[in-house]
Copies of this chain bind each other. A is one copy, B any other.
Amino acid sequence: MEKKEHISKAVTGRLPRYYRFLCDLEDRGVERISSKGLSEKMGTTASQIRQDLNCFGGFGQQGYGYNVRQLKSNIAEILGLSEIKTAIMIGAGNMSKALVNHFEFRQKGFNLIGIFDKNPALSGHILNGFPIRHIDLLDEFCRENRPDAAVLCIPKKEAQAVADQLVRLGVKGFWNFSHSDLKLPKDVAVENVHIGDSLMTLCYKLESK
């Protein structure tokens, strides 16, 4: 697959959404779709779609459109979803339960391999098949299993210290639900899920309508 060297952050930022729509189309048995058809579903323009997808080489065919399965698999490859990475989860509260029980990590490129919590009363409990381990076992576990990423579902005031510990243990990516911005080395990836910011944005949208 031909790739342009420097793909803008804006384009790569839109790829997960393309992927999501293509999964839906495939689930509904759609085999091919035009840029116009896709743009109508996604609420964007056909030219935006052609421009975005051209960045990764010519997937579409004039007069035929895009092969849904092919395009989906190409985007999966670009996103790195096919090379499954390992992740651990820190915190075993309600947010963790919501994620572990209802969220398909593997489909998004990750294999969950362990859950840790500082509450000793939770140690040994099982969360959707995963035994909860005490946080004191984190060092040993990471040295043995070398997880690529960590999901932080812990309070703000604990997040930075745990992140620092995990960086020392070789963790290279964080999915951060802790309502705080982490200070991390440049070579460590982070995705913040700032749901509070999202609700304030809704408040603003309601206010300005």
Contact = CB atoms under 8 A, between A and B. Distances in A.
A102 B93 contact: yes
Interface stretch (A15-23, A56-64, A132-140): A15-23
Which 3 pairs of residues, A with B, have the shortest CB-CB distance? A80-B207, A109-B203, A189-B205
Given A94-B98, A98-B93, A209 B196 contact: no
Contacts of A174: 202
B203 A187 contact: no
19 contacts: A15-B200, A16-B196, A17-B197, A20-B197, A79-B203, A85-B203, A94-B98, A95-B95, A95-B102, A104-B196, A107-B196, A108-B196, A109-B200, A148-B206, A149-B202, A175-B198, A175-B199, A193-B193, A193-B195
A81 interface: yes
A13 interface: yes
Given A79-B207, A195-B103, A197-B20, A202 B181 contact: no
Pick the most buried of A80, A98, A203: most chain B CB atoms within 10 A of its CB. A203
A203 B103 contact: no
Pick the most buried of A78, A194, A205: most chain B CB atoms within 10 A of its CB. A205
A203 B110 contact: yes
A125 interface: no
Pick the most buried of A93, A101, A189, A202: most chain B CB atoms within 10 A of its CB. A202
Contact of A94 (B102, B196, B202, B209): B102
A105 B195 CA distance: 11
A187 to B, nearest CB: 6
A194 B99 CA distance: 12
Contacts of A43: 181
Contact of A79 (B42, B172, B200): B200
Given A102-B93, A149-B206, A191 B201 contact: yes
